[in-house]
Amino acid sequence: MENEIYQEAKDLYVKQQFNESIEKFKECIKQKIYISQCHEYIAKAYYSLKDMLKAEENFKLSIKSDPLNLSSLYAYGIIEITFAKYKEAYTTFKTLLDYDNTKIDINVGYAASLFGMRKVLDAKEVILNAIKYEREHSDEDAKPNLMCAQIYLVILNELGNHQTVLQKIDEMNLEILYPMIKEIKQQKIAAYIGLKEYKKALDLIDSN
């Protein structure tokens, strides 16, 4: 049975009472209860409060307490990318891949770190392998990984494959991609600009 204070802290977190949950998790840490998990929850709470520095600090403490806390390690890698610490993120995601190289989200993070390091062709190879694996091991009606789709378009635009970007977007089910429709639209605009079709780019910018 979980510690009562720990459960209370989790309940506050679920209710999005983040500041209150942080204080409760800190109580748990003082009592040496689930230290890694508490720091992870504190980090996620700070992330929700948009305090990225404290989120980064607590994910780091979570990993220090338990190097095998892979969910903290993944989140820490994402924050490293957010802070443009691409070399550090590369190391983090490489470590995660050593544990499991089949998870799409880990491969996307790895590709993003490579892209940030300007290793664009390497990033493209990682994403294409991830897309291939997803197609081979997912059900036919499974939804595509949205982050994977987005970074693939970013990579294609960076490589100057603007026509391919437009083609890929036309092939996409935009209803499924709706949560990232803004990001997809940005890549479409970038493709039009790359093709010097400025009117189409401006029309798309002006559209709702």
- The DSSP secondary structure of 41-84, one letter per residue, reads HHHHHHHHTT-HHHHHHHHHHHHHH-TT-HHHHHHHHHHHHHTT
Question: What is the pLDDT of the chain when averaged over all its residues?
Answer: 92
What is d(CA 66, CA 109) in angstroms, rounded to the nearest whole number?
21
21: Cβ contacts below 8 Å, ≥ 6 apart: 9, 10, 12, 13, 41, 42, 45
Residue 178 or 17, more confident: 17
Does the structure show a pLDDT above 90 at 164? Answer: yes
What is d(CA 107, CA 176) in angstroms, rounded to the nearest whole number?
21
Give the model's pLDDT for residue 12.
96
Residue 84 or 101, more confident: 84
In the predicted model, what is the mean pLDDT of residues 110-120? 96
Residue 141: pLDDT band (50, 70, 90) is: low
Percent of the chain with pLDDT over 70: 95
Percent of the chain with pLDDT over 90: 76
Residue 187: pLDDT band (50, 70, 90) is: very high
**C-beta separation of 191 from 162 below 8 A:** yes
Give the model's pLDDT for residue 176.
72
User: For the range 53-61, what are the long-range contacts, defined as Cβ-Cβ under 8 Å and sequence gap of 24 or more?
Assistant: 55/79, 56/80, 56/83
pTM, entire model = 0.86
Does the structure show a pLDDT above 80 at 177? Answer: no
Nearest residue to 105 via CA among 144, 69, 158: 144
Token pair, residue 14, equals 């679920």
In angstroms, the Cα distances linking 56 to 13, 34, 50, 60 are 18, 19, 11, 6
Q: Which residue type, as a one-letter code, is found at position 145? A: N
Give the model's pLDDT for residue 1.
45
